[in-house]
Amino acid sequence: MKRLLQTKWISLALLTISFLLIYNPLTKFPYTFCVIIIFILISTYLQNGDLKSLNFKNLKSGDIKIILVSYLVLELSVDFMIQPLVNWLCNEPADYSTFEHIKGDTAQYLKWLYRMWISAAIGEELLFRAFAFAQLKNIFGDKKILIVILSALMFCLPHLYQGTAGLIMTFIFGIAFGFLYIKFKNIWINIIVHGLIDTVFLTLSYLGYIEFYQFIW
């Protein structure tokens, strides 16, 4: 049974279903990702008899330094170098208007913060890194660069509402998160770094500084 579930076609089917669940009409954000998380956990257990392939490893003291350094490098390089460049190349900033209603509204800010940690930090990292990497490895073998690129493409597609610049930025983040996952093989590191980046974004949106992300060189 396990061998059957670990075949390339089954892995492709499981990955396709998990991705399409994002668009299912029966659940709404962020609970859609709760469904996806459950699907991933059940599928992984049925495939392998455990959840080891998702790399839920204990965080050690040294991992805190890794998380902080990774977060700072990503936040500073993307915010001050990559995002302004992408905005300039696209001749328009990423469309983050969806988050403008958070400005000055503490209840909405806290609501989105909780939703973000469920859907983006935990849900997206489980889907687009832990689960996608395991399934893509079954399909293509240990071709790390290809897996990083394919997972980043999957990651950016649900962000079409952010426009071309937003799509490119999400792809770049997908590449960065992919290499972070390959390097340390601990999904908790990815989850926390992702969560910290989105927390800063939501906090700036709440404070009315969302235009910080719309700077063009």
- The pLDDT, as a whole number, for residue 52 is 96
The continuous run of DSSP H or E covering 125 comes out as helix 125-125
Query: Phi and psi of 100, rounded to 5°?
Result: -65, -30
Instruction: Supply the Cα-derived Rg of the chain in whole angstroms.
Output: 17
d(C-alpha 117, C-alpha 196), whole Å: 9
Task: Convert the pLDDT of each residue in 94-122 to its tens digit.
Answer: 888 888 889 999 999 999 999 999 999 99
Q: Is the pLDDT of residue 215 over 80?
A: no
**What amino acid is encoded at 2 in this protein?**
K
CB 86, CB 169: distance < 8 Å? yes
Task: Convert the pLDDT of each residue in 137-153 to its tens digit.
Answer: 999 999 999 999 999 99
Q: Specify the pTM.
A: 0.94
- Report the Cα 170 to chain-centroid distance in Å: 9
Q: Is the pLDDT of residue 1 over 60?
A: no
Task: Convert the pLDDT of each residue in 165-202 to its tens digit.
Answer: 889 999 999 999 999 999 999 999 999 999 999 999 99
